[in-house]
Amino acid sequence: MKFHTQTAGQSLTAQQPLNNVVRVTIQALAGVLGGTQSLHTNSFDEALALPSEEAVRVALRTQQIIAEESGAADIVDPLGGSFAVEALTDEVEAEALAYIEEIREMGDGSMVEGVLSGIESGYFHREIGDAAYEYQRRVEEEREVVVGVNAYEIGEETEPEVLKVDEAVQERQRSRLEAVKSERDDAAVEAALAAVDEAIANDENVMEPIVAAVKVYATMGEIMAVFEEHHGSYQETASAV
């Protein structure tokens, strides 16, 4: 089985952000030991802003050090036979299957219908909210230790310099978009968007007409507007936690 792994953004803290380098390293190593084929390492300042160039480089070097210096990638299954890992795997599998069955039941045995029902009823939103709330309670009650947040705190501020996007970037992007729209073939764009509209109306595969629309420089907003005409816009169902 091939799978991609990303380190846990939820675990990143704004307090003492350099601690996040250690957190990400442990999580990345766990992914490698678990056999991941693709890995994304979060940057240490992502709890504060979009990552800076320095933070991105550290995240990349974390992967490279694990790959080149740790030796973890030299063995096919370094944790093979570990009772602890096998027990945790069984636990995760059991909990995942329980969720799958619960969702399937919401769709009268159909997984697809169950997912749609769960979205419409706010089930997924509620489950995520409940989990976040319970985690935060554990942190605030110090039943869950988060280094630098509710344990081993320091008085002074430790915020690094964060990325600040120049507002001129927005103007440059607007200018580029206006230039593209002024130079493209409007008739070709209209025809391509009409083809997308027809594919949606006929319940056909929309990938080919979308690619054709992109090639004549239809914008993402214009393409999505066609979908909205048929399906509307998703409004998240608010739920009490």
Closest CA to 28 of 45, 44, 51: 44
pLDDT of res. 160? 78
Distance between CA atoms of residues 107 and 116, nearest Å: 8
pLDDT of res. 239? 61
pLDDT of res. 238? 63
Distance between CA atoms of residues 4 and 37, nearest Å: 6
Query: Global pTM?
Result: 0.77
**Are residues 185 and 193 in contact, defined by beta-carbon separation less than 8 angstroms?**
no
Residues facing 4 on adjacent strands: 38
